[in-house]
A and B are shown apart, each in its own frame.
Chain A
Amino acid sequence: MTDTISTPKPSVTDSGAGPITRFLRATEIDTRLLGMFAALALIWTGFHIYGALFNGGGAFLTPRNLWNLSVQTSSIGIMATGMVLVIVTRNIDLSVGAVLGVTGMTMGILQVTILPQYLGLGSPLIWIITAIFGIVMGGCIGTFHGWLIAYRKIPAFIVTLGGLLVWRGAAFVANNGKTISPVDSTFQLLGGGPYGSVGATGSWVVGMLAIIGIILALYYGRQNRIHHEFAVRPMWAEVVVGALSCGMVIGAVLLVNAYPWPSGIVKQYIAANNLTVDPDTLFISHGFAIPVLILMGVGILMTLLVTRTRFGRYVFAIGGNPEAAALAGINVRWMTLRIFTLMGMLAGLSAVVASARLNSATNALGLLDELYVIAAAVIGGTSLAGGLGTIYGAILGALVMQSLQSGMVLIGTPTAVQQMVVGSVLVLAVYLDNLYRSKVK
């Protein structure tokens, strides 16, 4: 059961259960989480083996490809965290891809043709103003959608379907369909690339912070349970959970650090810094890409919002029973407006990441993203009936969707077939989810 609120569960030690069940109970590891990891493992090794057998290379499980995968996941993942809230409250947002497109386009115009006039080309203020503008603009569009839905009582499906067409059209009109490229050179770093990554040391710092966070979370979680005299996990289970989580963090750091800068960039770097090293022996790690760090940051903040604040609590209450929420004094309409505003802001942030990564703004930016974002949330366990969903699930869901997509590109699947596969996977995933839920109940 993906409990929407992380309540401590008593560590039942049912002697009748098998060893795996007992292990999962003691560690309180969510079976859905395991399922998602299994799906990922299957997809990754599947593509790798296919590549090894038929493409001669087996290029999936390489630091390079996985690093790229992490960057590609960022934009969808950021939006998927917001889509969880939208779907949990029994709404839908079909417009996120189009909102991303129009904000990306507007940011392109702002940073390339408007701001340099006033601040001078290459001013360090440009990227900050542009990024903030993008988030605010996305937020305003979201507020407008939310207002139509909550206060004008137009169904979310209709408002955002209309929004999909309107904003996609606006993205074209904004610059007459012409692509804007390149974007501001600092802004570009927000999309990743060799310079837009934090390097080996930076990645270890991030990794260490994550490990400290995990240990603190486990420690305070346990203290809290002891304080209120609730059942705690057995010590070995705490250690296993901690070791697994930290192990994954270290694995991720090692992985991103194993992907070196390409030799062209290394030569450029040596020339720029007047170094006297042999470019062939100099190994400079990418480390975590900035968009991936943005996704992690968003994931942590959104998780806190959803599980630890009143706002998050009300989101789930509305999803579970809108009338009950209203009778408990929750202003459902105001909540809806704020949720759509948040969704819009996240679409704006994704626009920053996506246009920075492409180093250009095109009117097709974010095309079909709404479907990937919704699929990511749903695959990650967000129930379309409302009331259930997790942020980590949605991010993993985004990774699953992106893995499928990248894998198929890698083995040369035609676009038409890719669409057929993605569509079928979505339907299958929801079906499996239904089976899973009815079994858990």
Chain B
Amino acid sequence: MTNNTGTPLVEMRDISISFGGIKAVDHVTVDLYPGEVVGLLGHNGAGKSTLIKCLSGAYRQDAGDVYINGKKVDIRSPRDARSHNIETIYQTLALADNLNAAANLFLGRELTNAFGFVDEGKMEAETRKIMARLNPNFRKFHEPVSALSGGQRQSVAIARAVYFNAKVLIMDEPTAALGPHETQMVAELIEELKAQGLGIFLIEHDIHNVMKLCDRASVMKNGQLVGTERVEDVTEDDILSMIILGKNPKREAA
């Protein structure tokens, strides 16, 4: 089990960001320990994706700070996030449709040969290796990813996030398009990465999966944090009422 007493791997403290008057994220604080999976839950538009985009470098928060291993860091771009070993699977997958799987996997971090030229063969070979672990049925290595199914595209996005030895993994609805078998493989992958000591933020709508995969769950509503609970201390119904009503009946009662 995870030990939540040391320094958190990631701490997002008092994060706020608004878009033209709409407070998408409103003073939210979440943290994540090594070897831990923290679920982020909430209704559509609650601000989950926006919150994690401040960590992945896609957005910059209006207020609040991010700490990695207790040190305050300034994440200004996706490149900064990557340099802190933060990898992200975006809800939109963020794939370049006209490029093939290998080109997408290595996008921004291409392998090059001695002449500084992109090493197509090596990248494809590496892609084949990792896809064999994630989605053994995957064959379409030469087609542009626009020719792939939704689930296949999702596998490519997952492969990209796990290939580069992340310390922090952000997964925004990683199994939304996956079939039962592939979902099971991702669940196993999450367990495996957790055992390796990664910290994972998992955005997931399926409460059942949350209870199964997460150590803690942070619930958001209308941009604000409702609360964070250890999943072993709560029931599915407790979480559901946090999402829908914005409060935890147990805590209210206590």
Q: How far is the CB of A370 from chain B (nearest CB, A)?
A: 25
Which A residues are CB-close (under 8 A) to B141? 7
Which of B56, B112, B144 gathers the greatest number of chain A CB atoms within 10 Å? B144
Do A324 and B121 have beta carbons less than 8 Å apart? no
Indicate the size class of the contact surface on chain B: 35 or more
> With contacts A3-B142, A308-B117, A387-B96 known, what are 4 further pairs, Cβ within 8 A?
A313-B107, A314-B108, A316-B99, A329-B79
The answer for the CA separation of A4 and B145 in the assembled complex, in Å, is: 12
How close is B44's CB to chain A, nearest CB, in angstroms? Answer: 20
Q: Is the CB of A10 within 8 A of B117?
A: no
B97 x A320 contact (CB < 8 A): yes
Count how many chain A residues have C-beta atoms less than 8 Å from C-beta atoms of the other chain.
35
Provide the bound-state CA to CA distance between A321 and B99, in Å.
10
Residue from A8, A312, A324, A387 whose CB has the most chain B CB atoms within 10 Å = A324
> Cβ of A4: which chain B residues have Cβ within 8 Å of it?
98-99, 144
Are B124 and A228 closer than 8 Å at their CB atoms? Answer: yes
Q: Which residues of B contact A34 (CB under 8 A)?
A: none
Instruction: Given A228-B124, A316-B99, verify A3-B144 contact (CB < 8 Å).
Output: yes
Residues of A306-320 at the interface with B, using a CB-CB cut-off of 8 Å, are 308-310, 312-314, 316-317, 319-320
List, in ascending order, chain B residues with CB within 8 A of A30's CB: none
Q: Closest CB-CB distance, B139 to chain A, in whole Å?
A: 10
In the complex, 23 of the A-B residue pairs with CB atoms within 8 angstroms, ordered by the A residue number, are A7-B100, A7-B102, A7-B141, A8-B120, A225-B121, A228-B122, A228-B125, A304-B117, A310-B118, A312-B118, A313-B99, A316-B96, A320-B99, A323-B92, A323-B94, A324-B96, A324-B104, A324-B107, A327-B56, A327-B88, A328-B78, A328-B94, A329-B108
**Option from B58, B82, B98, B110 in Cβ contact (under 8 Å) with A387:** B98
Chain A 201-259 interface residues, beta-carbon cutoff 8 Å to B = 224-225, 227-228, 230
Q: Chain B residues near A387: list those with CB within 8 A.
A: 96-98
Chain B's nearest CB lies how many Å from the CB of A230? Answer: 7
Point out the residues of chain A lying under 8 angstroms from B77, CB to CB.
Answer: 329
Chain B nearest CB, measured from A67 CB (Å)? 34
Asked if A10 and B78 make an inter-chain contact with CB atoms under 8 angstroms apart, the answer reads no
B202: Cβ under 8 A from any A Cβ: no
Q: From A309, A319, A326, A328, name the one whose CB has the most chain B CB atoms within 10 angstroms.
A: A328
The interface bits of chain B over 101-129 (1 if a CB of A lies within 8 angstroms of the residue's CB, else 0) are 01110011110100011101110110000
A9 at the interface (CB under 8 A from B): yes
State which of A230, A323, A328 has its C-beta within 8 Å of the C-beta of B108.
A328
**Within the complex, which residue of A3, A310, A324 is in contact with B112, where a contact is CB–CB below 8 Å?**
A310
Question: In the complex, are the beta carbons of A8 and B142 less than 8 A apart?
Answer: yes
| A308 engages B118 (CB within 8 Å) | yes
A20 to B62, CA, bound (A): 61
B-chain residues with CB within 8 Å of residue A330 when the two chains form the complex: 107-108
Residue in chain A with minimal CB distance to B145: A320
Cβ contact within 8 Å between A324 and B94: yes
Q: Is the CB of A5 within 8 A of B103?
A: yes
CB of B121 within 8 A of CB of A230, answer yes
A residues less than 8 Å from B109 (CB atoms): 329
Query: Which residue of A9, A312, A325, A388 is within 8 Å of B107 (Cβ)?
Result: A325
Instruction: Judge whether B33 is part of the interface by a CB distance below 8 angstroms.
Output: no
